[in-house]
A and B are shown apart, each in its own frame.
Chain A
Amino acid sequence: MFGLIGHLTSLAHAQAVAKDLGYEEYAGQGLEFWCMAPPQVVDDITVTSITGQVIQGKYVESCFLPEMLAAKQFKAATRKIINAMVYAQKQGIDITALGGFSSIIFETFNLSQIRQVRNIHLEIQKFTTGNTHTAYILCRQVEQTSIKFGIDLSKATVAVCGATGDIGSAVCKWLDARTDVKELVLVARNQERLQELRSQLGRGKVMGIEEALPIADIVVWVASMAKGMEIDVSTLKRPCVLIDGGYPKNMSTSIQIPDVYVINGGIVEHSIDIDWKIMKIVSMSAPARQLFACFAESMLLEFEGWHTNFSWGRNQITIENMDKIGAVSIKHGFRPLIA
């Protein structure tokens, strides 16, 4: 059985979802209540591969909200993730993906040092960040959207915002090794890590976001931000593709101007409908088919019987593993969202 640990994008979102699902006790509550709320299994999922194989899974809502970070409720935030993981393990789930901020919190707060939680020994090999598959899908989205919108990668500049993160650095490495992209622009806050990445790649221009946007043909957004940022759309190149892989979205600006294309980044479409409620809750346009690539990774690991922490640790993603997860992604009927 596979598992997905997820969270909602904001307190307002959480309140609306609780109301929709008829959980009245949760619907009207503020952040303080969510800081105390326990994890819950809120969906049972059946997924069918195009090979005909059928697997079962569960969705665990951690009750974490990004506002907990903004309000410096770090203890609550870390508790949510650890408790959701213990809960998933107690449900007998073999491989669970840590969606959205879950894996970022796990890494940032060094939660791997916590192995004993109450009377449970946390088996971290049963968890995956899902980041290898997310990075792979983002790279495929870069390739396929460039073709769709007439951008020649061999003449193009691709900016990666959040370049030094686990997903961002993997995207940079893959684009460098597997495509003929002309220029890579690396955007991130930590200068030391940027220089380290640049020397690893042996290429790439380090820039601030304001400088990068006007020269980029494609921007990949994978920064960890509790809230989306406003961008000045008038500075964007035309045509330009913005692939937003943030959760919550990195860009809060809604863009509807000619020759600027916004793509829902890190999202896959499955070839066969999935019977579940959760993707409707996170506002996917085709909720029976579309899902986060990190969640799909736990499904792929379950299909293949790879019950192991395939994606784990910071900046450990290899190009070979991206190829490997990419091959099984295609095999089971997932494809990058391009529409």
Chain B
Amino acid sequence: MIGQIFAPFADENIDYRSETYRDAYSRINAIVIEGEQEAHDNYIQLGELLPNLKAELASLAKMEIRHKKGFEACGRNLNVIPDLAFAKEFFNSLHGNFQKAFAIADVVTCLLIQSLIIECFAIAAYNIYIPVADDFARKITEGVVKDEYLHLNFGEVWLQENFATAKDGLEVANRQNLPLVWKMLNQVAKDAKVLGMEKDALVEDFMIQYGESLGKIGFNTREIMRMSAMGLVAA
């Protein structure tokens, strides 16, 4: 039998001021701050590749800077100094792949990395974080996650409109980049757990969001199942 009544998503009495929490937060908070900064830079660069959409991309980029400021405030609120060097190193491979794609004007790969993978991951992580966040960070994160859905939508719409020519490129880019994301997640799984965020919940939420986006773009169920689980077990 299943057991006693159990409140699965209840607050687990996290001590936000404890050394352990703040230590883990210094890395997770830095990742979020660096992630928002890189998202800003990526959207500005995407504007160079898609001149017709430059204004729209600039406005998305501006939102990312606002998010970054919000998360900086979350760190200050807990008296945490974000470990930005760790975060830069953390994003290094994914950042490198984006720059390589940008250098050869590979819009599809750039969009897959920023607009699908990073945005889906951000949405999953923020949604998992909200129920376990401190009050201050919860309000900020709730505002941010609403914006991230808009950013995701930008990539979905463009890739859907260009699906016929983008499909093969998306599969290649997915194969190259999604395994990096699982490795990145493993690197911070312990810290995330201290914050009350379970790795399997994060992966599941990511796969739900990413699968939904791939579906909107035009992939079928079989392709989605293959693509969204790519490299997960090996990581």
Q: Which residues of A line the B interface, CB within 8 A?
A: 22-26, 29, 32-33, 35-42, 69, 72, 74-76, 78-79, 83, 87, 90, 104-105, 108-111, 113-114, 118-119, 189, 224-225
Contacts and interface: CB of A to CB of B under 8 A. Distances in A.
Do most interface residues of chain B lie in helix, strand or loop, or is the interface mixed?
Answer: helix
Contact of A83 (B8, B149, B208): B208
Interface residues of B, number: 33
A75 B8 contact: yes
Contacts of B127: 118
Contacts of B204: 35-38, 79, 83
Given A33-B233, A36-B207, 19 more contacts: A23-B226, A25-B233, A26-B225, A36-B204, A37-B229, A74-B2, A74-B3, A74-B8, A78-B6, A83-B208, A87-B208, A108-B5, A109-B6, A109-B7, A110-B7, A113-B7, A118-B123, A119-B145, A119-B146
A74 B198 CA distance: 13
Contacts, number: 87
A234 B228 CA distance: 51
Given A33-B233, A38-B211, A79-B201, A23 B225 contact: yes
Interface in B175-217: 198, 200-201, 203-205, 207-208, 211-212
Contacts of A42: 221
A247 to B, nearest CB: 14
A41 B123 CA distance: 22
Contacts of A105: 2
Nearest to B128: A118
A155 B168 CA distance: 71
Contacts of A25: 225-226, 229-230, 232-233
A104 B1 CA distance: 10
Contacts of A189: 1
A25 B3 CA distance: 32
Interface of B: 1-3, 5-9, 123, 127, 145-146, 149, 198, 200-201, 203-205, 207-208, 211-212, 221-222, 224-226, 228-230, 232-233
6 smallest A-B Cβ distances: which pairs?
A: A36-B203, A38-B207, A25-B229, A78-B8, A38-B208, A36-B200
A183 B160 CA distance: 65
Contacts of A79: 8, 201, 204
Nearest to B205: A118
B32 to A, nearest CB: 18
A41 B221 contact: yes
A36 B205 CA distance: 8
9 contacts: A23-B225, A23-B226, A40-B221, A74-B6, A79-B8, A90-B212, A109-B2, A110-B6, A110-B7
Contacts of B228: 38
A177 B57 CA distance: 68
A185 to B, nearest CB: 20
Interface centre among B149, B204, B211, B221 (most CB of A within 10 A): B204
B208 to A, nearest CB: 4
Nearest to A30: B233
A33 B9 contact: no
B200 A26 contact: no
Contacts of A22: 222
A225 B3 CA distance: 11
B8 A109 contact: yes
B176 to A, nearest CB: 17
A22 B121 CA distance: 27
Contacts of A37: 204, 207, 229
